[in-house]
Amino acid sequence: MSTFKALSLAFILATGAAAGAARADDMNGLGNRPNLGEKITEADIKPWDISILPDGTNLPPGSGTAAAGAKVVAEKCALCHGEGAKGGKNAALVTDAPLPPGQIEANKTIKNFWANATTLYDYVRRAMPWNAPRTLTDQEVWDVVAYLLAANKIIDEKTVMDAKSLPQVKMPNRDNFIVRFPERI
Ligand code: HEC
């Protein structure tokens, strides 16, 4: 064997041995990655799994009324959305203005634009109040949702909102949306 060949063989054997040693340290069987972190559990995911689908999938238990919601709005929403959420510094959440046909630039509101009532629950719970998102209890969100739908005259003010009744509320502008993947709703 030439000296060159002998050196090459020694090199291959040495690197092979180093790789073997690294594998012996690989306790989690994931290959030669840093052995950091731990497996995420269902309980870890649950607080983040708050998306509500248009058909109401994932709505929490409980129910809400417009009367109770009016109090929450006065305490936690009126500051920005005005008295009764009829418009203030920020968007009016209660309004009768229709969306003029063909005028997509017109002021869009929950009543004249939103396609699904269930979005109200998802949006308010995850994003409002603007200055302290995710501070409302599920109960407060149920009540606010009932208030906003009743004040917009989409439901009767005595109608109780829960995981069964909310998905059945038909939003006025619903049929003007083109649903690209109806089978996914
Ligand atoms: C600190 C100010 C502030 C407070 C308090 C607040 N909001 Fe908002 N809200 C906003 C802003 C800003 C937006 C975004 C408006 C926009 O898109 O132009 C918004 C948007 C919304 C929208 C969407 C409106 C639309 O037509 O797209 C809803 C629904 C809503 N808020 C509900 C609430 C509710 C319910 C409360 C009380 C629990 C609340 N907000 C409290 C500032 C606030």
Instruction: Pick the residue whose CA is nearest to atom 17 on ligand 1.
Output: 91
Neighbours of 76 (CB within 10 A): 18
| The pLDDT of residue 5 | 54
Instruction: Pick the residue whose CA is nearest to atom 12 on ligand 1.
Output: 90
Q: What is the distance in A from the centroid of ligand 1 to the CA of 129?
A: 6
User: Which residues are CB-neighbours of 54 under 8 A, at least 6 positions away?
Assistant: 115, 116, 118, 119, 167, 185
Q: Which atom of ligand 1 is nearest to the CA of 79?
A: 5
| The pLDDT of residue 26 | 61
User: Which residues are CB-neighbours of 183 under 8 A, at least 6 positions away?
Assistant: none
| The pLDDT of residue 97 | 83
The pLDDT mean for the chain works out to 86
Tell me if the bond preceding 133 is cis, omega within 30° of 0: no
Q: Which atom of ligand 1 is nearest to the CA of 129?
A: 41
Rounded-to-integer distance, Cα 118 and Cα 174, Å: 12
Q: What is the pLDDT along the chain (185 residues), one digit of tens a residue?
A: 455 555 444 444 444 444 444 455 566 666 667 778 888 999 999 888 999 999 999 999 999 999 999 999 999 999 999 999 999 999 999 998 888 777 778 889 999 999 999 999 999 999 999 999 999 999 999 999 999 999 999 999 999 999 999 999 999 999 988 888 888 76
Rounded-to-integer distance, Cα 44 and Cα 115, Å: 32
Q: Which atom of ligand 1 is nearest to the CA of 91?
A: 15
| The pLDDT of residue 129 | 98
